[in-house]
Structure 1
Amino acid sequence: MTKEIHVLGLSGGRDSAALAVWMRENRPDLDINYFFTDTGKELDEVYDYLGRLEGFLGKPITYLNPGRDFDFWLKEYGNFLPSPRTRWCTRKLKIHPFEQWLRPELVAGTRVHSYVAIRADEPERSGMIATHPNMSVHFPLREVGLNKAAVIGLLESSGLGLPAYYRWRSRSGCTFCFYQQKIEWVRLMREHPEAFEEAKSYEKTALEHGSPFTWTERESLEELSRPERVAQIEKDYEARVARLKARKPVNALRARLTDAHIDEAYGVDEADGSCLVCHK
């Protein structure tokens, strides 16, 4: 018989964690290999949450390290920062390690089943496409009709809750992900000042080498971190949230979320098109 394996990628975020919980509770017959592609530039809260999730699942999470880290690839790309238009970080630090991990199994003829955390309320997202005839991609959350509210409820009822960074940030991913909103850069500066300074140093080097991109569009972190600019970003954010709250009712579940979750709950995300591999 053809060998089969089952894999589920974790981002350190809400949806992939909920999928792992759902699979453990509803498909205990499957021996699932849980994995995390580690860029080495993740938030501390991501690693803490993965540790808690590992305890809940009762089996280890495989950490896939790219071998060549962010600093290596930054130099390879001429010190040009990744951006929504040139997402080399996703390709080199997330997708390639996953493909290299599975390649021996696929070459050997193993049937690989990959489970991806796309919810029922995300009809516009297509998810990871199988790139090998021996791979099948499945979307259990979508198939059983679980939306964002159901995902949050599942994590709360499991005792895991949400990752701690949701207190101030709306998505998982690298510490200095370019998909962050300006308000989230301000919060990163306060929550993890050393990480913010590292991001500034990367940006300074990139600009010195002629990079057309800064981490946040049309503004350097040096400019963004000035007190008067911080005050304006916070004022603009609060005004935007107030406008959206006034015209969109809050359901009971979303009302329990912290202010950082308003970014998603009210559609005030400035960074549409975010990276599925990193953020789910």
Structure 2
Amino acid sequence: MNGPVRHVLGLSGGRDSAALAVYMRQHLPELKIEYFFTDTGKELPEVYEYLGRLEGFLGQPILRLNPDRDFDFWLKQYNDFLPSPQTRWCTRQLKLRPFERWLRPMLDDGITVYSYVAIRSDEEYRDGYSSKHDKLIVKLPFKEAGIDKAGVLDVLEGAGLGLPKYYEWRTRSGCTFCFFQQKIEWVRLKEQHPDAFEEAKAYEKDAVEHGSPFTWSQGESLEELQQPERVAQIREEHEQRLARMKSKVQPNPLRPDSEPLDIDDLYGKAKVCLACHK
């Protein structure tokens, strides 16, 4: 395509987008890629630590696209109703909107923008990443190269980065109170970052008092979820699920250390917000 061109790659602080950044740096070093991260202001500290290490590998800063309005502003705009799988206003306002505002001047100037997205070969392509502008071209390098989840892990291990530290206890978004978390991840958030758990609980209490039909975790409030007997039940159910899954996994002779089971393996792949989860 003729005319000026820019290349952009969005990072979520998660596994797949980080691996794609490494992959592009290794395989297409001649491309001048602009890496960006859209900060909700409610990210886990492990996210920032991982982005810092990734900057070291890439040898360039990752642009922060901070939303012009923070979570608290948009919460008020939505009448104190929490975001949920049914109304994902946090992704729309805190992730997609800043990205679109950053892109618009480029596209208006006639610049062709190639956006590289970390959809793996073992995933379905989702329409949420489809371009609605003829100058915005979405590229899926992992799809084209046949790189699946095991391949992503190999890319990160080979670069000496490994997984973000929060993958030790959760595999969803790096946002502290993501509503796609499983019950066990809320339990672990309380253990790992009790202040973030208490903040989420306060948001939930205020939202319910304002008539919000949603709680962060489906079917129960965080106040109910944190009760000792409920925590014990959640842990037991999780361990049973883990044992069943491990009994079904066939050893891979090519990967004797095997790939780690993650929350998606155990609970099924939810229709997560890929702008956050990748």
Q: Is TM > 0.5 for Structure 1 vs Structure 2?
A: yes
Runs of 4+ in 1 over 6 A off after TM superposition: none
- Mapping of residues 56-205 of structure 1, within 5 Å: 56-123=57-124, 125-126=126-127, 128-205=129-206
**What code does the residue aligned with 2:103 have?**
L
> CA shift at 1:255, angstroms?
4.5
**What code does the residue aligned with 1:277 have?**
A
Distance 2:174 2:210 in 1: 25
Coordinate RMSD, CA, aligned? 1.5
SS at match of 2:86: coil
Match of 1:247 in 2: 248
Distance 2:55 2:81 in 1: 36
Gapped regions of structure 2 (runs ≥ 5): none
CA offsets per residue over residues 102-161 of structure 1, 9 Å max, x none? 111100100000000000000354451112111100000110000000100110010011
Q: TM-score, normalised by structure 1?
A: 0.95
Aligned length: 276
1:17 to 1:197, Cα distance in 2 relative to 1, 3 A? same
Sequence identity, in percent? 62
SS at match of 2:72: helix
SS at match of 1:113: strand
Match of 1:273 in 2: 271
Q: TM-score, normalised by structure 2?
A: 0.96
Is residue 181–residue 270 contact of structure 1 (8 Å, CA) maintained in 2? no
Gapped regions of structure 1 (runs ≥ 5): none
> CA shift at 1:254, angstroms?
8.5
Is residue 34–residue 61 contact of structure 1 (8 Å, CA) maintained in 2? yes
SS at match of 2:36: strand
> CA shift at 1:171, angstroms?
2.2
Distance 1:176 1:67 in 2: 20
Match of 1:232 in 2: 233
SS at match of 2:267: coil
1:49 to 1:189, Cα distance in 2 relative to 1, 3 A? same
Distance 2:54 2:33 in 1: 14
**What code does the residue aligned with 1:150 have?**
G
CA offsets per residue over residues 135-194 of structure 1, 9 Å max, x none? 100000110000000100110010011100011111233110000000000000000000
**What code does the residue aligned with 1:196 have?**
F
